[in-house]
Amino acid sequence: MAQNSLVDPAPFFLEGGPVGVLLIHGFTGSPPEMRLVGDALHQFGLTVSGPRLPGHGTRLEDMNRCRWTEWIDHATLALTQLQSGCDIVFVGGLSMGALLALNLAAHHSEIAGVILYSTAIFIRNPLSCLIPLAKYLIPQVPKSKNGGYHDPQGRPQVWSYDAYPIPAAHELLKLTSDVKRLLPRVTSPLLIIHSTDDQTIHPGSARFVYDRAGSSDKELLILHDSGHVVTVDAEWQQVAEKTHRFIVDRLPGSV
């Protein structure tokens, strides 16, 4: 079941100019959690693609049948499709979407820049280490009711499952392990955004990526009035503005 069945979890594509931005949603989420930032970027003339990852936006059982490589394949296809119509492409992602953005950057050095929102490198819950075993015992674990949003208007704008699929969570751990290994190969410019009150991801995740990524051009923005889903929470406008400035500053001919 979805936490908010009134929101349509469909992918979106906003036609704009020759600069494209791929925005990848997070684990158990869907494209609407990237829509506010996407709309803001589109208003500046950018082409924005918000794909929906396999197993998301349908039924929890579908997600538990997915493999982490399917998420990579889908993100790669979305990148290729966006590149076919844009001269320059940036990639952004939230949580698991940030991991996929890093994976893409490690294999596609032509990506002009990567924006990471709440990168899912380290999970706060100490029981996450039990996931490889727990997946044989329980298919899902209910989510908390509040979701950690600072802005009460944040939750109504997103669609996500109301529980964590445990077999799929093991696939997320596999993806995380792969991305950690690949970080030195990431050379595209990086903007890393993280909130100190993220109750899902350990705050050390942002610094881990910053220190280990191979990029020479990297920025770290720390927020203090947002939960995990920084793309729709209280500081989303700052997130969108910083994202746009990051992109503009890295376009050919920028000063």
**pLDDT per position as a tens digit, 128-168:** 887 888 888 899 998 887 778 998 888 888 999 999 999 99
HSE-CB for 72 with a 13 A CA cutoff? 18
Q: Which amino acid is residue 133, in one-letter code?
A: L
* Predicted pLDDT at 211: 98
DSSP letter, residue 216: S
Q: What is the distance between the alpha carbons of residues 235 and 195, in angstroms, rounded to a whole number?
A: 10
> Average of pLDDT values for 208-232?
97
What architecture (CATH level 2) is domain 12-249? Answer: 3-Layer(aba) Sandwich (3.40)
Quick one: tokens of 155?
């939750």
Longest CA span, the chain? 56
- Ordered by start, the domain boundaries in the chain are 12-249
Strands 47-50 and 19-24, bridge-based pairing: parallel
**What region, left, alpha or beta, does residue 147 occupy, with left being phi > 0 and alpha being psi -120 to 50 degrees?**
left
Asked whether residue 255 carries a pLDDT value surpassing 50, the answer given is no
Q: Is the dihedral of CA 167, 182, 125, 193 positive or negative?
A: negative
Give 172-190 pLDDT, tens digit per residue: 999 999 999 999 999 999 9
Cα first-last separation, the chain: 48
Please tell me the predicted confidence (pLDDT) of residue 130: 79
Residue 1 has pLDDT above 60, yes or no: no
Rounded to an integer, the average pLDDT of 232-253 is 96
Positive or negative, the Cα torsion across 185, 189, 192, 193?
negative
- Encode pLDDT of 47-91 as tens digits: 999 999 999 999 999 999 999 999 999 999 999 999 999 999 999
Percent pLDDT > 90 in the chain is 84
Beta strand extents in 103-203 (DSSP E only):
113-117, 140-142, 163-165, 190-195
Whether 112 has a pLDDT exceeding 60, the answer reads yes
Residues 245 and 228: their CA atoms lie apart, in Å, by: 22
Q: What 3 state SS string does 149-196 have?
A: CCCCCCHHHCCCECEEEHHHHHHHHHHHHHHHHHHHHCCCCEEEEEEC
At 78 the three-state DSSP class reads helix
pLDDT attached to residue 254: 63
List all residues 6 or more positions away from 69 whose beta carbon is below 8 Å from its beta carbon.
Answer: none
Please indicate whether residue 1 or residue 108 has the higher confidence score (pLDDT): 108
d(CA 132, CA 234): 34
The residue ranking higher by pLDDT, 136 or 46, is 46
The span from the CA of 221 to the CA of 96, in Å, is 18
Helices and strands counted in the chain (H then E): 8, 9
